Amino acid sequence: MIRHVVLFTWISEATDEQKEQVTKELQALPPLMTGLRSFDIGPSAGIAEGNVDFAVVADFEDVESYLSYRGHPAHRAVVEQVITPITKGRAAIQYEI
């Protein structure tokens, strides 16, 4: 299995509505994806200062499933239209579990 982790920091101008839209759009993706075993997303709980603003943790059956998700038109649309406009920073990793 492949675990995909992405951490985002939003620009200061990002509105609450834009942040909520990220969650809403990402939540719509799992039924469209094959080989997706687990999909957890969410904003920072605000417990520690200096943390990132939002995280995505997704588990895929295999590399092919992850690559299919990464290139899926619905995923690409969310990234390009909803996430990228409010992103200040992004870090990601994929690793075997």
DSSP 41: E
Domain CATH code at residue 13: 3.30.70.100
Say what the pLDDT of residue 28 is.
98
pLDDT of residue 47: 96
pLDDT digits (tens, 9 = 90+) for 8-52: 999 999 999 999 999 999 999 999 999 999 999 999 999 999 999
> CA-based Rg of the chain, rounded to a whole angstrom?
13
- pTM for this model (two decimals): 0.94
Domain count, the chain: 1
Contact predicate 89/5, CB 8 Å: no
Which residue range is the domain that position 64 belongs to? Answer: 2-96
